[in-house]
Structure 1
């Protein structure tokens, strides 16, 4: 059976609201992902940082 080429990661809000997005990322991409996305609890765009799903 073939191995998966993408992994599922969690993007957690840096504003400490507890909100997160789940996305897939290429396994070969080693860099830690950080994206500015909308936080509905604050109603603002904030920085989201990558965290592994347990």
Structure 2
């Protein structure tokens, strides 16, 4: 089965500077800009924004 270019795998890196990352998929047609999600950072111990890195 071929990988879809519409839903690529993206890496989300913490904006708190702790180096924590999450890996997820996004729909390129609905979200053409960089993705920002508020997720839990276990090093910081709180929820922080995670930005998509390329």
- Per the TM superposition, whether the score is higher than 0.5 is yes
Give TM class, smaller chain. 0.7 to 0.9
For residues 19-41 of structure 1, give each alpha carbon's deviation from its aligned partner in whole angstroms, at most 9, with x where no partner exists. 00000011223121101110001
**Where has structure 1 moved over 2 Å in runs of 4 or more?**
none
Is there any run of 5+ residues in structure 1 with no aligned partner, and where?
none
CA distance, structure 2, for counterparts of residue 50 and residue 2 of structure 1: 23
Aligned residue pair count: 52
> Over the residues paired in the alignment, what is the CA RMSD in angstroms?
1.7
Q: Provide TM-score, normalisation by structure 1.
A: 0.82
Q: Provide TM-score, normalisation by structure 2.
A: 0.82
